[in-house]
Structure 1
Amino acid sequence: MLLSVLCEGRRVSAGLALVFSVATILPASAQQTVEVVIQNYRFEPAEVRIRAGDTVRWINREKRTSHSVLFASEQGGESERFFPQESWERRFDAPGAYSYSCGPHPEMKGVVVVMAP
């Protein structure tokens, strides 16, 4: 689509460049970051649903306790421990259900459900 305007007696076409500029700025599917709060020895929410390519950020809101995010061995390891007011994040590229717990507190459990984009 072309936009033609008359400028000082001359016709100028500017629309095509504008369309291409907007197309490069706006991604087809914006990736998001979802937050899980760790407080009172719980992951809140305990289940999050995201799209492939999104990131989950765990934020420790405890007063004194460190935590980690431990995935089942086939799903990829454990984060380092992070302390109150610190966070850790992971990007999920493949669809599936990723169960996790807290390394030092295995009774704390959660799941990240990753859907196709």
Structure 2
Amino acid sequence: MGAARPRRALRAHITTRNVARDLDRIRRTLGEDRISYLGYAYGTYLGSVYASMFGEHLDRHVFDSCVDPGAVWRASTRPRRRRSAPTWTPGPPGRASVTGSSAWARTATR
């Protein structure tokens, strides 16, 4: 339990705005006045935040997809309910039955 506490304290400082600040610090360290940026998935959100904070230092930029800012990381960090996989029950030749959740089958095939 004690090892988890420092991580929680650090997590409060790992924000998209702070990552954008780190990105700009890298730009300055490299001595570049402007950077070009290509973002995929979360990178599109990060690029948008960087552009809103440091737009004067952003040159060419491509955001490959859209990310809902209200949902960033929320879905990936939320504990997931595990559904049991269907069970195959052997039967006579050519006939078998499946038991289990049809909801599992729907989510497993998405």
How high is the TM-score relative to the length of structure 2? 0.26
Task: Name the structure, 1 or 2, with higher relative contact order (CA <8 Å, separation 6+).
Answer: 1
